[in-house]
Chains A and B, each alone.
Chain A
């Protein structure tokens, strides 16, 4: 039914199967939309927010999706600025994942502020002393950059590409994509960092407070570093999941291994910096405020010292050591384990830096503030996941997301004959196909 929209040289599941998948995930999406509308119509009393937790569970979801979405800016930086040419085969998917993550982050923020009609206040009545203002500026602008990076992919759809203006627009955008990628890297550096900076400047909360350079606490640099390290791991993870569901190889091993290797070294250096930062904080910063390390990890039902060991050791050093070794990257199980651990690690880091901070008592007579979200918060946090799955399904089906797919999965001869027959029926399309660029090439390269 929709075969005319599917990229040439690749095979997709039957339409009914695709629609069934959309309907199943769409049901989850609708549940989230219902909860979102409840929050907007009835107000934030639908959440379990209180004076200790003024941002609900959403603040963690927001920081986590922004961290794992960091794969888009870092892969773009490596591809266009550093010149790692092999990454052109995964950059489209990295951009798609980044687009999903950042649009989700903005959606979560729109729910979290409770009054989205006043969302523009932060731009017009900007508090120029706030790191969150910087986050809002850079986040919105970077989402604009991601839209610009995602647009050529849409324009490369088989039918849209037939329109000369759209073909030329896509070609021109690819030509100057390095400019947009550089802008994206600049914006990402600052908003990832400022999200960490927010925790680091809280001198009234010694669990988060850190010293630093000029106005930037060490958490500023650690957040950017961890996003650049773990973002590509998330890209690899989603690529592997897509390959498992599609039951075919979509990206060559050398591309995945290159990204995994860079990610591994980034993660290793980040882990060393994080350990040094934690050590200094535990032995100098926290005691100077009247706390010992174990004050932050005892007398509560959830936050034990295990969370620190899990975050820094098991989900930091361990995946880094796997990813920097050639054998680790080439072994499928080890690679899966490493990228999953790295993604859990960065999500756990964001949890600790925004939710554990709020839980820790800051006065001797205050007990720990534990928190459990309402079902509306859970539904609206799952909403972006369903939205992301649907967008990946649609993009994978109709857009040339994986340039190496046709080469890695040659279609059987009978299907070629069917395509020839179909092309004979469409002479104009055939002529265009002969003029079209090679499947592995971007329009600019063609």
Chain B
């Protein structure tokens, strides 16, 4: 559920529950994005193959 959903209420319960959910999802999403982009960059630079 997002704040723009009609069921959303700006109270502590919604903020804590969904804040925790988004916090965890963001860490996973950003972490994986960083790893994938860095892996693509490293591969482009020739790391990890025969020259690694």
| Interface residues in chain A, defined as those with a beta carbon under 8 Å from any beta carbon in chain B | 123-126, 128-129, 133-134, 137-138, 141, 144-145, 148, 164-169, 171-173, 176, 179-180, 183, 186-187, 190, 428, 431-432, 435
Q: Does the CB pair A168–B17 fall under 8 Å?
A: no
**Which B residues lie within 8 Å of A138 (CB)?**
20, 24
- Which of B7, B21, B39 touches A172 (beta carbons < 8 Å)? B39
**Which B residues lie within 8 Å of A129 (CB)?**
13
- Which of B17, B39, B48, B50 touches A137 (beta carbons < 8 Å)? B17
Q: Does the CB pair A180–B31 fall under 8 Å?
A: yes
| Interface residues in chain B, defined as those with a beta carbon under 8 Å from any beta carbon in chain A | 1, 5, 7, 13-14, 16-18, 20-21, 24-25, 27-28, 31-32, 34-36, 38-40, 42-43, 47-50, 52
Q: Does the CB pair B38–A168 fall under 8 Å?
A: yes
Closest CB in chain B relative to A445 CB, distance in Å: 15
Q: Does the CB pair B39–A168 fall under 8 Å?
A: yes
26 CB < 8 A contacts A-B: A126-B1, A128-B17, A128-B18, A134-B17, A137-B21, A138-B20, A144-B25, A144-B28, A145-B28, A148-B31, A164-B47, A165-B40, A168-B38, A168-B42, A168-B47, A168-B48, A169-B35, A169-B36, A169-B39, A171-B39, A171-B42, A172-B39, A172-B42, A176-B34, A176-B35, A179-B27
- Which of B24, B40, B43, B49 touches A183 (beta carbons < 8 Å)? B24
Given contacts A180-B28, A183-B28, 5 further A-B contacts (CB under 8 A): A167-B48, A167-B49, A167-B52, A171-B42, A186-B24
**Is chain A's interface secondary structure helix, strand, loop, or mixed overall?**
helix
- In the bound complex, how far is the Cα of B7 from the Cα of A181, in angstroms? 33
- In the bound complex, how far is the Cα of B17 from the Cα of A125, in angstroms? 12
- In the bound complex, how far is the Cα of B13 from the Cα of A129, in angstroms? 7
Q: Does the CB pair B35–A173 fall under 8 Å?
A: yes
Of B25, B31, B35, most A-chain CB atoms within 10 Å: B35
- In the bound complex, how far is the Cα of B7 from the Cα of A124, in angstroms? 9
**Which B residues lie within 8 Å of A128 (CB)?**
13-14, 16-18
**Which B residues lie within 8 Å of A187 (CB)?**
24
Of B18, B24, B43, B49, most A-chain CB atoms within 10 Å: B24
- In the bound complex, how far is the Cα of B28 from the Cα of A148, in angstroms? 8
Q: Does the CB pair B32–A148 fall under 8 Å?
A: yes
Closest B residue to A140 by CB, please name it: B21
Closest CB in chain B relative to A434 CB, distance in Å: 10
Q: Does the CB pair B31–A176 fall under 8 Å?
A: yes
Closest CB in chain A relative to B21 CB, distance in Å: 5
Q: Does the CB pair A183–B17 fall under 8 Å?
A: no
- Which of B5, B31, B39 touches A179 (beta carbons < 8 Å)? B31
- In the bound complex, how far is the Cα of B28 from the Cα of A138, in angstroms? 13
Closest B residue to A443 by CB, please name it: B48
Closest CB in chain A relative to B27 CB, distance in Å: 5
**Which A residues lie within 8 Å of B21 (CB)?**
123, 137, 141
Closest CB in chain A relative to B24 CB, distance in Å: 4
**Which A residues lie within 8 Å of B1 (CB)?**
123-126
- In the bound complex, how far is the Cα of B36 from the Cα of A138, in angstroms? 24
**Which B residues lie within 8 Å of A144 (CB)?**
24-25, 28
Closest CB in chain A relative to B26 CB, distance in Å: 10
Closest CB in chain B relative to A135 CB, distance in Å: 12
- In the bound complex, how far is the Cα of B47 from the Cα of A10, in angstroms? 27
Closest B residue to A172 by CB, please name it: B35
